[in-house]
Amino acid sequence: MKITGARVIVCSPGRNFTTLKIETDQGIHGIGDATLNGRELAVVSYLQDHVIPCILGMDPRRIEDIWQYLYRGAYWRGGPVTMRAIAAVDVALWDIKAKLAGMPLYDLLGGKSRERVMVYGHANGSDISETVDAVGAYIDMGYRAIRAQTGIPGVEDAYGVGRGKLQYEPADTRLPSVGGWDTRKALNTVPRLFEKLRDTYGFEHHLLHDGHHRYTPQEAANLGQMLEPYQLFWLEDVTPAENPQGFELVRQHTTTPLAVGEIFNTIWQARGLIESQSIDFIRATVVGAGGITHLRRIADLAALYQVRTGCHGATDLSPVTMGAALHFDSWVPNFGIQEYMRHSQETDAVFPHDYRFEDGYLICGNTPGHGVDIDEDLAAKYPYDQKCLPVARLDDGTMWNW
Ligand code: CS2
Ligand code: MG
């Protein structure tokens, strides 16, 4: 069996997506997501100029060997561009192999460990009372787990607050817009949000919060302590992970569960955090961390330390990643939760898929492969539309982590 063709499809049905389609001499094709929000064209070039010429003619069933070829063979290992390109090839090849076997991907991975996958949605508002209402709307939709973010008085465009209360889409300007940040003000606001949420809705639902890399380890520990009475499911990216010892410090001071890893590309970035038992959930996902082949290695390492998965699932990860992630989540023994920001109707139409939302869970379909395809004619109607993620500055102009 041979790979006879591979092409990159870029489309923007409301936001940009980069998709790789691999064709074979047996008439079976596979689809992989390569979207890197705000840096899409770098991955397009990496695939078109450097990856596709190498894989033409290879046997698509040799997924492991092709993964190693692209990872070791690049010499320049890791990084978001390389690893997204490898992920796109890997997911497309698993799609092909599962179609060839006539199995849904979860069966090829070892079979289902659960019937349905618990997801969390994103509630946000410009102030605490708007966020409380948005959480109520998610509860009404049947969600069992909800991430809550609020605007912070005195902070312009705080992270996670969107134009609509049920969605937020940060990459919406051609060049980066400038948001603000003030840690003191955030530390005064975020615990009050969760106090209000528990007073209003009780303790039945799982609540999550994303610190989006903004706090120092000491500030993060302080936030974790203040949130303890509200029993969060997790506190995410509370401090930057470049320094894993920062998480050890946070861990020593709070029992609030910690999640990290949506920007990780390899097991090497996750290893120290997992082995030191500084985290509870690993957020790496198929598109970010080298596809199914590499993500399952991360999950297996995490399982040794009772760390559970919590795959990134913002709207900049296409339905192809969501489909593949749901097969992974249905199989992986140490599953925790799956992030689920709903895609727009336009996006859903471009990427026909067989997963569905029911009662706070996503249920993955059972068509052979990962169950997601691309309608290329429809995709062609939505040309690339350059958009950047914002940046953040403190009040005095200092650049901060967005
Ligand atoms: C966020 C992401 O979903 C999350 O937890 O941190 O929305 C992140 O900001 C985007 O994926 C960036 O592209
Ligand atoms: Mg996040």
Q: What is the DSSP string of 294-315?
A: HHHHHHHHHHHTT-EEEE---T
Is the minimum distance from the CB of 262 to ligand 1 under 6 angstroms?
yes
Contact 277, 255 (CB under 8 A): no
Q: What is the mean pLDDT of residues 273-302?
A: 98
Backbone angles phi and psi of 336, in degrees to 5: -115, -65
What are 216's two structure tokens? 């120092």
CA distance 40 to 47: 11
Q: What is the mean pLDDT of residues 223-252?
A: 97
Q: What is the mean pLDDT of residues 257-284?
A: 98
Q: Residue 401, SS3? A: coil
Provide the pLDDT confidence category of residue 172 given band limits of 50, 70 and 90.
Answer: confident
Contact 62, 22 (CB under 8 A): no
Contact 402, 389 (CB under 8 A): yes
Provide the pLDDT confidence category of residue 143 given band limits of 50, 70 and 90.
Answer: very high
**165 has pLDDT over 60:** no
What are 327's two structure tokens? 């097969």
What is the gyration radius of the CA atoms in the chain, in angstroms?
20
Average pLDDT of the chain is 97
pLDDT at position 148, please? 98
* CA 212 / ligand 1 centre spacing (Å): 8
pLDDT at position 157, please? 87
Q: Closest residue (by CA) to atom 13 of ligand 1?
A: 37
- Superfamily of structural domain 109-368: Enolase-like C-terminal domain (3.20.20.120)
297-311 burial code (b ≥16 CB/10 A, e <16): ebbebbeebebbbbb
pLDDT at position 349, please? 98
* CA 108 / ligand 2 centre spacing (Å): 30
Residue 341 CA: nearest ligand 1 atom is 3
Number of neighbours of residue 64 by Cβ within 10 angstroms: 11
Number of neighbours of residue 252 by Cβ within 10 angstroms: 10
CA distance 11 to 7: 13
Is the minimum distance from the CB of 170 to ligand 1 under 6 angstroms?
yes
- Residue 204, C-beta contacts closer than 8 angstroms, at least 6 positions apart: none
Is the minimum distance from the CB of 296 to ligand 1 under 6 angstroms?
no
Q: What is the mean pLDDT of residues 223-240?
A: 98
pLDDT digits (tens, 9 = 90+) for 14-29: 999 999 999 999 999 9
Helix (H) or strand (E) segment spanning residue 136: helix 128-140
Backbone angles phi and psi of 316, in degrees to 5: -80, -5
pLDDT at position 91, please? 99
Query: Residue 284, by phi and psi: left (phi above 0), alpha (psi -120 to 50) or beta?
Result: beta
**257 has pLDDT over 60:** yes
Which candidate, 62, 61, 51, places its Cα nearest to that of 84?
51
Q: Closest residue (by CA) to atom 7 of ligand 1?
A: 314
* CA 339 / ligand 2 centre spacing (Å): 9
Is the minimum distance from the CB of 40 to ligand 1 under 6 angstroms?
no
CATH of 3-104 given 3.40.50.1820, 3.30.390.10, 3.40.50.2300, 3.30.450.40: 3.30.390.10
* CA 159 / ligand 1 centre spacing (Å): 10
What are 291's two structure tokens? 């596809």
Q: Closest residue (by CA) to atom 11 of ligand 1?
A: 314
What are the catalytic residues?
A: 159, 212
The residue extents of the domains of the chain are 3-104, 109-368
pTM: 0.97
Number of neighbours of residue 200 by Cβ within 10 angstroms: 13
